[in-house]
Every structure is written in C-alpha cells, then in structure tokens.
C-alpha cells in the first residue's frame, strides 16, 4: 500500500491530496501535520454558517472537506490522516458507513503504542453545530473526551475515509467560534497532550504504518473483518 507523509501541510493541500488519491483509485494511506489553525466545513455546508463567518472575521482560514458533516476546528499541529480503498475491497463492505472502528483501527493502535487508550464510538448528539458532537458518524474517544473524528466520501469505484486527531486544544477559540461553553470543552474534548501521549516525534510515521498494517491484516482475513 502506498504511503504519503507530509510534516507540514495546509488543510486545503491535504484535501487536494485526498482528492487526487481518490481519483487515482489505488490503495493509499496519507498522513500529514497541519501547519496552521483552520476551520473546516462539510462538503454541503454553506459558508455562511456562524462559525465560518466568525472565523473569517478573526482571520482564520476556512476550508471545505470532500466529506460530510458540519464545522470543525483544527489546531496547528493536529494530525490529518486518510485511507483510500477500492469500493470492492472486503474491508469496505456494504456497511462502510458504520465501519469506522475497523477503517480507523490503525489510528487507535498507534495511540495505544504510546500509552493512550482510544476507541471509536458513535458520535454523541450533544452540540449539533460542532462535527464531533453532531450525532453523525463516529468519534475517536480517549479517557478524557473526544480526540478526533472521521468522515467519508464514496465514488462509484473508491472510498475515501479521512479524519483528524487533536494534539492540542484551544477552549477560548472554540468558545469564540461556536459559543461552546468552556465547561463543555473540559468535560467532552481531549487531545494527545491531555491524554499523556508524550512527544509527537514520529507520530505521523507511527499512524501511517499502523493504518497500513491494520488494513493489510484485515484484507488478508477471509471476510476482510
């Protein structure tokens, strides 16, 4: 499986890379580190939603994802990861919209090797304007809250499954953009720093390798599960 690692990327560039990989159609794992704080919007979300307007007024970049969901704040240094698989891969299956735990297994594994216990759980519907709490898809949950999430884009031949992993938090920015109470952030959001994951050195490589290995193992199993 082809692997691409970019230690310093804009969200716009990462999305463009995902789109290129999606159209190429070959199995691929891509991992990058975000070089600047950015607000992302789901593919069908209008640019006039309040978080986007507030971000623009504050001078924060606003980018659009290929996949669905609502607005999400990405901090500088956050990890962006993606996998592209042929639609007929046994790992994709007919239940791909509920297959976040198996498709994102490599991310949880990589964190586990750093002492961070994380698992993919259905996204709670507790703050609808913020993607991780919109009640859609799954979130990667640590011991102190949501560490990240993922979303999908399907073509007739290929599935893109991509996500984000938080390395730090900015409660004040979340409050300013989303009217998200600081108490809600404290109780529901986490990041690698809060989970005691140690240095981020080698993290991109660890995630890329774990994703590739997990995908390979499942595709070699009889049912791809």
What is the value of pTM for the model shown?
Answer: 0.95
Of residues 191, 168, 190, 172, the one with CA closest to residue 180: 172
| Residue 182: both structure tokens together | 């600081």
pLDDT at 19: 95
Q: What percentage of the chain carries pLDDT values higher than 70?
A: 98
Rounded CA separation 17/86 (Å) = 17
pLDDT in tens, 120-147: 999 999 999 999 999 999 999 999 999 9
Q: What is the 3-state secondary structure (H, E, C) of the chain?
A: CEEEEEEEECHHHHHHHHHHHHHHCCCEEEEEEECCCEEEECCCCCCCCHHHHHHHHCCCCEEECCCCCCCEEECCCCEEEEEEEECCCCCCCCCHHHCHHHHCHHHHHHHHCCCCCCEEEECCECCCCCHHHECCCEEEEECCEEEEEEEEEECCCEEEEEEEECCCCCHHHHHHHHCCCHHHHHHHECCCCCCCCCCCCCHHHHHHHHHHHHHHHHHHCCCCC
Please give the mean pLDDT across all residues of the chain: 95
| Residue 57: both structure tokens together | 């007024």
pLDDT at 222: 58
Q: Find residue 33's DSSP bridge partners.
A: 79
pLDDT in tens, 168-212: 999 999 999 999 999 999 999 999 999 998 888 899 999 999 999
Band the pLDDT of 225: cuts 50, 70, 90: low
Q: Are 193 and 167 in contact (CB under 8 A)?
A: yes
The total number of residues written for the chain in this structure: 225
């Amino acid at each position: 499986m082809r692997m691409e690692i970019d230690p310093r990327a804009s969200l716009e560039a990462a999305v463009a890379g995902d789109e290129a990989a999606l159209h190429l159609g070959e199995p691929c794992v891509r991992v990058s580190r975000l070089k600047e704080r950015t607000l992302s919007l789901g593919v069908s979300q209008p640019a006039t939603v309040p978080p986007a307007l507030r971000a623009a007024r504050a001078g924060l970049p606003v980018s659009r994802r290929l996949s669905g969901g609502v607005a999400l704040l990405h901090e500088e240094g956050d990890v962006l990861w993606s996998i592209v698989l042929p639609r007929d891969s046994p790992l994709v299956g007919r239940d791909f919209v509920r297959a976040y735990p198996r498709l994102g297994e490599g991310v949880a594994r990589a964190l586990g090797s750093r002492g961070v216990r994380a698992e993919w759980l259905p996204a709670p519907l507790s703050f609808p304007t913020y993607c991780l709490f919109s009640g859609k898809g799954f979130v990667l949950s640590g011991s102190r809250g949501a560490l990240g999430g993922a979303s999908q884009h399907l073509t007739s031949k290929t599935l893109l499954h991509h996500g984000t992993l938080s390395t730090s938090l900015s409660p004040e920015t979340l409050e300013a953009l989303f009217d998200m109470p600081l108490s809600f952030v404290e109780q529901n959001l986490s990041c690698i720093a809060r989970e005691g994951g140690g240095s981020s050195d080698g993290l991109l490589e660890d995630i890329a390798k774990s994703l590739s290995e997990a995908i390979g193992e499942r595709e070699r199993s009889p049912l791809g599960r």
